Amino acid sequence: MPVAEQIKQSMASSSFIRKMFEEGIRMKALYGEDNVYDFSLGNPDLEPPEQVKAAVRETAALDEPGMHGYMPNAGYPFARAAMAGKVSREQGVPVEAGNIVMSVGAAGALNAVLKAVLSPGDEVLVPAPFFSEYTHYAANHGGRVVPVPAKPDFSPDIPALAAAANEKTAVLLINSPNNPSGKVYSPEDIRALAAFLQAHKEKTGRTVVLVADEPYREIVYGGVQVAPVFPAWSESVIVTSFAKNLSLPGERIGYAAVNPASENAAELTDGIVFATRILGYVNAPAFFQRVIARSWNAPADYTPYAARRQALSAVLRDAGISFAEPEGAFYLFCRVPEPKQAAHRDLSGNDKAFCDHLKEFRILGVPGSGFCGPGWIRLAYCVSAQTISGSRQAFAEAVKAW
């Protein structure tokens, strides 16, 4: 059967992350799981907290009539109310259940938001590097991602954003903590972004929606906190999920939260609800809406991620690989080292070639080009301590042979 040309093109340029993950499956079958050092996929390896597991058991034991039937497209009222309490605490402003739309993960929330706000030809500014699927999500709804390189420390480059913005700019999409760099935007960064958006509004007459993608909000290090966006810019939306913080990526449960101070908060919320329906999501999973309403605030222990962050950092330093010190999430974004071998001299900064080279030593990373960050590679440390310690010699040998 024929496949649409647009899909063919998108598939050809699709996520390096999944490609490397699938390569890992092949290599593990060939060499054995313990002999492949797979840092490709941000798949949390910690178990969900006990409170979440208890909520699963309690929900499974319920015998309420209609509990597996349809509910309002925006989600169960009690789940929306629980999320409103969560967002109110995080943002420092009162948020009501009516500002919340339960979603099929953060990806479902982001697609519904983009569907609701983008018109054909609209542009989405995204500080680079960023999660590669954003490009496809915007294209799904007639939009186009405009990558804007961040500063060397991965904070947003305001002059660069201002230069990239125009009358077609509809959305500024940020991700903090950032995948892949681990950067957490400071309160000053958020205020600077809001000032840029205000200046752009005064210049063009167009209000840009600030969308904050926050699935890593709770996974931070060294006392760092994720700055709220609602107090800074009224026309803002948060999308997130419980995939990373509660280790539930396969359950596909999340939400979108519309800033109640928005000039058209009710209309935008209704638009996201409508988009949820017509995109075929219909509603967030009924079972896990109930689970999350009971357990969203379950205490989670991220010290294993902090320990692995330190362990992998030590392995890379010993091998001679430099990287950005992550403030959050569970990735190390590493510079491609300068080649030592004459045969590789013309591959300086070539992240794809370096990832191919690492595969020869049974190491799997993701080229930074897939995140609009050429010259870098991403390594996910949500893996076992044994994988990290076992990779020490492989990294050292790979760099020497590069």
259-274 pLDDT, tens digit per residue, is 999 999 999 999 999 9
- All residues at 6 or more sequence positions from 152 whose CB lies less than 8 Å from its CB, including other chains: none
- Per residue in 168-225, pLDDT (tens digit) is 999 999 999 999 999 999 999 999 999 999 999 999 999 999 999 999 999 999 999 9
Q: Where are the domains of the chain?
A: 5-48+301-400, 50-295
Please report which confidence band the pLDDT of residue 1 belongs to, taking 50, 70 and 90 as the band edges.
confident
Q: Specify the higher pLDDT residue, 57 or 9.
A: 57
Buried b (16+ CB within 10 A) or exposed e, 214-251: bbbbbbbbeeeebbbbbbbbbbbbbbbbbbbbbbbbeb
Please give the pLDDT value at position 7: 82
CA–CA dist 109, 83 (Å, integer): 14
pLDDT given at position 15: 64
Q: Name the band, by pLDDT with cuts 50, 70 and 90, for residue 54.
A: very high
pLDDT digits (tens, 9 = 90+) for 325-377: 999 999 999 999 999 999 898 999 999 999 999 999 999 999 999 999 999 99
Bigger pLDDT: 4 vs 12: 4
- Is the model's pLDDT at 161 over the cut of 70? yes
CATH class of this structure's domain 50-295: alpha beta
What's the pLDDT score for residue 8?
A: 76
In the chain, % of residues over pLDDT 70: 99
pLDDT band at 21; cut points 50, 70, 90: confident
Single-letter residue type at 19: K
Q: How far is CA 197 from CA 124, 125, 232, in A?
A: 13, 11, 10
287 CB neighbour count, 10 Å cutoff: 16
Residue 71: how many other CB atoms lie within 10 Å: 17
User: What does the pLDDT read at residue 10?
Assistant: 73
375 three-class SS: coil
Rounded Cα distance, 180 and 337, in Å: 18
Name the band, by pLDDT with cuts 50, 70 and 90, for residue 6.
Answer: confident
Beta strands in 282-330 (DSSP E): 323-324
> CATH classification of 5-48+301-400 is 3.40.50.720, yes or no?
no
Structure-token match 């960050």, residue found: 373
By the 10 Å C-beta count (0-12 exposed, 13-18 middle, 19+ buried), 62 is classed as: exposed
Structure tokens at 386: 């044994």
Q: Is the pLDDT of residue 243 over 90?
A: yes
Res 34: pLDDT: 87
What phi, psi does 309 have (nearest 5°)? Answer: -55, -45
What letter represents residue 63's amino acid?
D
Residue pair 183/144 in contact (Cβ under 8 Å)? The answer is no
